Amino acid sequence: MQMAGKTSEQSYDLPDALGHFGQFGGIFVAETLIPALDELRAEYERAIADPAFMAEFHYELKHYVGRPSPLYHARRLSEEFGGAQIYLKREDLNHTGAHKVNNTIGQALLARRMGKKRVIAETGAGQHGVASATVAARYGLECVVYMGSEDVKRQAPNVFRMKLLGAKVVPVESGSKTLKDAMNEAMRDWVTNVDSTYYIIGTCAGPHPYPRLVRDFQSVIGEECKVQCAEQLGRQPDAVLACVGGGSNAIGIFYPYIEVPGVRLIGVEAGGHGVETGKHAAPLTTGAKPGVLHGQRVNLMQDENGQVIETHSVSAGLDYPGVGPEHCYLNEVGRAEYVAINDDEALAAFHDLCRFEGIIPALESSHALAYARKLAPTMRRDQVIVVNLSGRGDKDIPTLARLSGIEL
Amino acid sequence: MASRIQKTFASLKQLGRKALIPYITAGDPNPGITVSLMHALVRGGADIIELGVPFSDPMADGPVIQKAAERALAHGVSLKQVIAMVETFRKDDLDTPVVLMGYANPVEAMGYESFSQQAVAAGVDGVLTVDLPPEEAEERVAILKRHGLDPIFLLAPTTPPSRVARIAGLASGYVYYVSLKGVTGAANLDVASVADKMLELRANISLPIGVGFGIRDAASAAAVAGVSDAVIIGSRIVQELELGENGLQERLVGFLSGVRHAVDAACA
């Protein structure tokens, strides 16, 4: 890959000034938004150079979110899977129940610093919507969350949660009525209210500088993991696994490991009904052609005419036709590997974690667990897999009940 | 050699008239009718036609044009078919410039080189890609220009003067000033602020400036014509398409000629 042969900690310095990760990323938005993105980039640079800003960010992560999240040795699960030891990075224990809040705190602090009184967000599973509504309440900001009407139905508990937190939830009826359409609608709101409004993008996607700043805020996951591995194992893991929709929890744990040799980074996409059926959300695993959507050039599920096609996954949070540009780059240069896990494999892993460890994981995170179940038996017992347990599964209980034919 | 768009603006200038540029989405309400609607627009007084290329994720469009794209995509309308529609249109109209307006991905999927060849062969004159700002445009626009296509760029109320000059360096044909912060079809057009911005823009750009977004009737068209070089009307025209095919061509001609008269009267 590009940094081959270099050993310095700083040799990986993507994205470039215009947000490119190799051929991916960039700024593909209508002219009206360009000055807002310029302003955001400039303010972000000032913020991360400001010790007071970073101190407040870390204070909030510690006292409001409850970081650091534990790195937990799942011994019974490891026995069950056989082979490598499974450690779980417990992002499910964060306030709001997922990794999403790391990013929303960072961006809400930025919004406040920029004098914006109103924040908007898109959400799929509802975790980012909840995390946005939470920080909006915490910092006294007005909050509007756009959510595909299909997802509103699938994720009723999170919709109610957002409303309890004072956010307005707007169901989006256009297109496939899922995450990508929610993002379109949030962009339309932003272009209309660009002076007053800060758009909190929930994943490491969208126009520059979002992929970078979301990665930076989420990289607290990987930074902690490195310290915890050193403490608990005396070394770094052999493989780090994370589910990938847009890819924010994955980039958060991968990023600090990019230049650590010997650590495999494996992103697990949603295989849906199976990648061979075409009904999935696995653009990297299936080698989807690069395309332009939501302000970025990324590997994109599209038809031969460049129309974005509908995705399928049991987990709303992975139901996205693209994937963040940095993942596209890491895939292209071979630093990270990407695989797909089908709905039923994810569900099986979900039940494994419930029964063997007493932890109810999010369906999204269950995809990463399911790949650990495949990978662990191919490894030695003294080897280590860290799975980023990006969220807890409370929100998925209605889905699980429905799939089991149970009425709650 | 001057492009068809340049010739159109030059002759309008000589006559002391402003350009009227209606927009329809290709394939809405069905692919078979688009070419006849383009001719109807010309009969109604169109100087240039902006022909929308439907896209699955029209982020900069309001509900009216979103639904137009959905209707067209329900018929499977592709960029290739849109180019073929222009080719058919050209058999009967060699003068009216046609600008394809849409989003980057269908062109990315076809490839800029292949797209440019096919578009020029069919008689397309300009290309307006909503989500292709100058930051990403240089190499792509160079291909369009090499084939003789005019790249039409957007300018926005938020665009600072330094960017206007940069965009002027890339654009040809005309530039499209987005009259408001918002999506297509929004209702908050403020002609006074457009007039102010126009002065600032003209200091940095010599190309003709069209104004669009939020122009809904003869009165707002006339007001905008008073301060710009071209009036661009999209959502309001697509609303006529929304009403169905019954008497559609007559309705289009009727609406547009009313706007035409108002625009010409405003500049007389």
Which residue out of A122, A150, A269, A326 is catalytically annotated? A122
Report pLDDT for A225: 98
Is residue B228 in a domain? yes
Are residues B18 and B32 in contact, defined by beta-carbon separation less than 8 angstroms? no
Range of the domain at B89: 4-259
Cα–Cα distance for residue pair B185/B198, rounded to 1 Å: 21
Report pLDDT for A198: 98
pTM of the model: 0.96
Report pLDDT for A389: 98
Which tens digits make up the pLDDT trace of A6-37? Answer: 444 569 999 999 999 999 999 999 999 999 99
CATH of the domain at B180: 3.20.20.70
**B60 CA to chain A: closest CA distance, Å?**
6
Q: Answer yes or no: do B136 and A191 touch at CB < 8 A.
A: no
Q: How many domains does chain B have?
A: 1
Q: Answer yes or no: do B56 and A195 touch at CB < 8 A.
A: no
Is residue B267 in a domain? no
Q: Answer yes or no: do A194 and B59 touch at CB < 8 A.
A: no
Q: Answer yes or no: do A306 and B106 touch at CB < 8 A.
A: yes
Q: Which of A179, A303, A305, A309 to mutate to test binding with chain B, by most B CBs within 10 Å of its CB?
A: A305
Are residues B190 and B212 in contact, defined by beta-carbon separation less than 8 angstroms? no
Is residue B191 in a domain? yes
Report pLDDT for B52: 98
- Residue A74's Cβ-count burial label (10 Å; 0-12, 13-18, 19+) is buried
Which tens digits make up the pLDDT trace of B130-142? Answer: 999 999 999 999 9
Q: Answer yes or no: do A175 and B135 touch at CB < 8 A.
A: no
Q: Answer yes or no: do B130 and A180 touch at CB < 8 A.
A: no
Chain B residues closer than 8 Å to A42 by CB: none
The better pLDDT of the pair B52, A11 is held by B52
b/e sequence B177-216, b meaning 16+ C-beta within 10 Å: bbbbbbbbbbeebebeebeebbeebeebbebbbbbbbbbe
Per the annotation, the verdict on A390 as an active-site residue is yes
Residue A312, token pair as written in the block: 């399928």
| pLDDT of B205 higher than 90 | yes
Report pLDDT for A153: 85
Is residue B195 in a domain? yes
Chain A residues closer than 8 Å to B166 by CB: none
Per the annotation, the verdict on B50 as an active-site residue is yes
Is residue B200 in a domain? yes
Helical spans, DSSP H, in A100-219: 100-113, 127-139, 149-154, 156-164, 179-192, 210-218
Cα–Cα distance for residue pair A280/A345, rounded to 1 Å: 13
Report pLDDT for A154: 78
Is residue B128 in a domain? yes
Q: Which residues of chain A have pLDDT under 70?
A: 1-10
Which tens digits make up the pLDDT trace of A89-143? Answer: 999 999 999 999 999 999 999 999 999 999 999 998 899 999 999 999 999 999 9
Closest A-chain CA to B175: A31
Report pLDDT for A10: 61
| Nearest in space to A69 (alpha carbons), one of A255, A247, A224 | A224
Closest B-chain CA to A297: B105
Are residues B8 and B48 in contact, defined by beta-carbon separation less than 8 angstroms? yes
Is residue B206 in a domain? yes
